[in-house]
A and B are shown apart, each in its own frame.
Chain A
């Protein structure tokens, strides 16, 4: 990887490098399992997550693979619908953070001067906003829905990404191949697409994973505290219902009510973290070995 990668090779090489790390492989495997649950779940299940379909605390059976909760709702359907909510929030928040932070960081790093100074002051300001109270507040004003939580998380987390992307862009801008390209008369747009974005791909992927995992954590946390979307399905909501049911541990129902969402949240968050650790090992200038020019 000593030669500057071309734009076709870089993301592919990045993915191959990622797959080479056992940590990231375990992480991607866990993410795949959750994605399968989200995609295949609703196809296999006949009931909605809030429909009353069985006797209270019904044990798992052929039609109800995970039994029912205290009011007779299908817990497998809740698990699958919760996976959809979590993944949707994760993808939306991750994509939003990367789009906002990436664009602003790239512009600040490329243009420098006043643009850079102004955007970085905004970044400094945005970094000190307390996050959980803000989320509670926004959710309360606008009604707590999954897309809204994702949008808020993107609005709160883009500054960190912008800062990293700006630093990388500033460093890339002075590299020989970028300056050569400029010398041959390439425009800013061409240089960004051809030389900067491929090099930034891993950094952006790491930012996407970090924002996604925070989004999952906050969505489930708000739902667990009773501040989530009351009509939607969420693993945090299922967990809260189970914990609040006072006779939970006097019946075997905790095995199919409490345990599956607990394990599902753990699997998704650990999957995201391990993937992130794998990505960071490749993209962080402090730890990567293939960029001798980069300073910490």
Chain B
């Protein structure tokens, strides 16, 4: 009974979340101070319009003269056909802008989530196993401190350390501008070098939270009967640590990873701002600065969809890891 109802319930919940998001995404930019025509009214800007009639026509062209309910209806109608709108500041389709920026954010978020899950899985087990010893205490204090500082501060510190004081990695961007690479491999290496610092920042940031949870869970598992039996059977240490203890702690870890996905997206926005990384965060920040509503709406919505999709993947992984979680 419960098994049959659950997919329907979770689908309904996802649908509700999505509907709430569409409303929020529509309302949020319109509540921000300023408006997209501020630049048109500013005599100092290059696109200033002084003719009131022309201004009316520009407003009408973008639909900004219509009442909010009609703007909303038009927005939802467009979304249904995959149309995210037209950027006011860049005079380009939003879907094209999102398509250009999203891969960089996925390149940042995906590996960061995988690496931080793997790192906290291993480190959490080792710290719990050796709890109270120097290594555990150092990791505990160090990662607690790391968890306290925001992503953009960590990003700035790493930037200063590895791109300025010790100039081994690029300061920002995703590729060396105007560089001619002899081979595809060299181009790939260039992308990789630019990815190291942003990825390290996001991974460290996520690991700090996940590690503390994993350590706590594993400490609780250590005294369990199956751990005693595994030791009595004479199983090797590594197997007991990473297969027996780790497996028991995997479900809480995956649940926490699911909760961290939204933080990973939020963190990516801050990290991209520091490294001038051309992902969704940079797109969002430029759109905030220009009050470019359609881009803001599109970017918010696509990021939220990414978070929902990754959450779904984590949920599926959790069911695969522990079939009991699907039944309850």
Bound-state Cα–Cα, A96 to B270, Å = 28
Tell me whether B24 and A140 are in contact (CB under 8 A).
Answer: no
Tell me whether A226 and B150 are in contact (CB under 8 A).
Answer: no
Tell me whether B160 and A273 are in contact (CB under 8 A).
Answer: no
Chain B residue numbers with a CB within 8 Å of A141 are 31
Total A-B contacts with CB atoms under 8 angstroms apart: 73
CB-CB under 8 A for A254 and B164, given A224-B273, A225-B273, A243-B274: yes
Tell me whether A265 and B153 are in contact (CB under 8 A).
Answer: yes
A284 lies within 8 A of chain B by Cβ: no
- Find B150's partner among A143, A217, A274 (CB 8 Å cutoff): A217
A23 lies within 8 A of chain B by Cβ: yes
Tell me whether A243 and B145 are in contact (CB under 8 A).
Answer: no
Tell me whether A273 and B270 are in contact (CB under 8 A).
Answer: no
B211 lies within 8 A of chain A by Cβ: no
Interface SS, A side:
helix
Tell me whether A274 and B288 are in contact (CB under 8 A).
Answer: no
Interface extent on A, as a size class?
Answer: 20 to 34
Task: List residues of A (228-257) whose CB comes within 8 Å of B's CBs.
Answer: 239-240, 243, 249, 254
Contact with A along B21-36 (1 / 0, CB 8 A): 0001001100111000
Tell me whether A269 and B149 are in contact (CB under 8 A).
Answer: yes
Tell me whether B156 and A227 are in contact (CB under 8 A).
Answer: no
Bound-state Cα–Cα, A136 to B28, Å = 8
Bound-state Cα–Cα, A220 to B24, Å = 24
B229 lies within 8 A of chain A by Cβ: no
A6 lies within 8 A of chain B by Cβ: no
Tell me whether B171 and A243 are in contact (CB under 8 A).
Answer: no
- Find B270's partner among A23, A140, A224 (CB 8 Å cutoff): A224
CB-CB under 8 A for A221 and B150, given A239-B156, A243-B156: yes
Bound-state Cα–Cα, A277 to B156, Å = 26
Tell me whether A140 and B33 are in contact (CB under 8 A).
Answer: yes
Chain B residue numbers with a CB within 8 Å of A220 are 150
- Nearest CB on A from B229, distance (A): 27
Tell me whether A273 and B288 are in contact (CB under 8 A).
Answer: no
Tell me whether A137 and B270 are in contact (CB under 8 A).
Answer: no
- Find B273's partner among A217, A243, A269 (CB 8 Å cutoff): A243
- Nearest CB on A from B264, distance (A): 14
- Nearest CB on A from B220, distance (A): 11
Contact with B along A259-288 (1 / 0, CB 8 A): 100100110011011100100000000000
- Nearest CB on B from A285, distance (A): 16
Bound-state Cα–Cα, A262 to B285, Å = 20
- Find B156's partner among A23, A136, A262 (CB 8 Å cutoff): A262
Q: Which residue of A has the minimal Cβ distance to B30? A: A140
Bound-state Cα–Cα, A54 to B85, Å = 46
CB-CB under 8 A for A249 and B171, given A254-B164, A273-B148: yes
Bound-state Cα–Cα, A220 to B148, Å = 13
Tell me whether B149 and A137 are in contact (CB under 8 A).
Answer: no
- Nearest CB on A from B62, distance (A): 20
Chain B residue numbers with a CB within 8 Å of A269 are 148-150
Tell me whether A133 and B24 are in contact (CB under 8 A).
Answer: yes
B92 lies within 8 A of chain A by Cβ: no
Tell me whether A259 and B160 are in contact (CB under 8 A).
Answer: yes
Given A225-B270, A269-B149, 18 more A-B residue pairs with CB atoms under 8 Å apart are A23-B141, A132-B266, A137-B31, A220-B150, A221-B150, A221-B152, A225-B288, A226-B285, A226-B289, A243-B273, A249-B163, A249-B164, A258-B156, A262-B156, A262-B157, A266-B148, A270-B148, A274-B144
5 sample A-B contacts, Cβ–Cβ < 8 Å, listed by A number: A213-B148, A240-B273, A258-B156, A262-B156, A266-B153
> Which A residues fall within an 8 A CB radius of B?
23, 132-133, 136-137, 140-141, 143, 213, 217, 220-221, 224-227, 239-240, 243, 249, 254, 258-259, 262, 265-266, 269-270, 272-274, 277
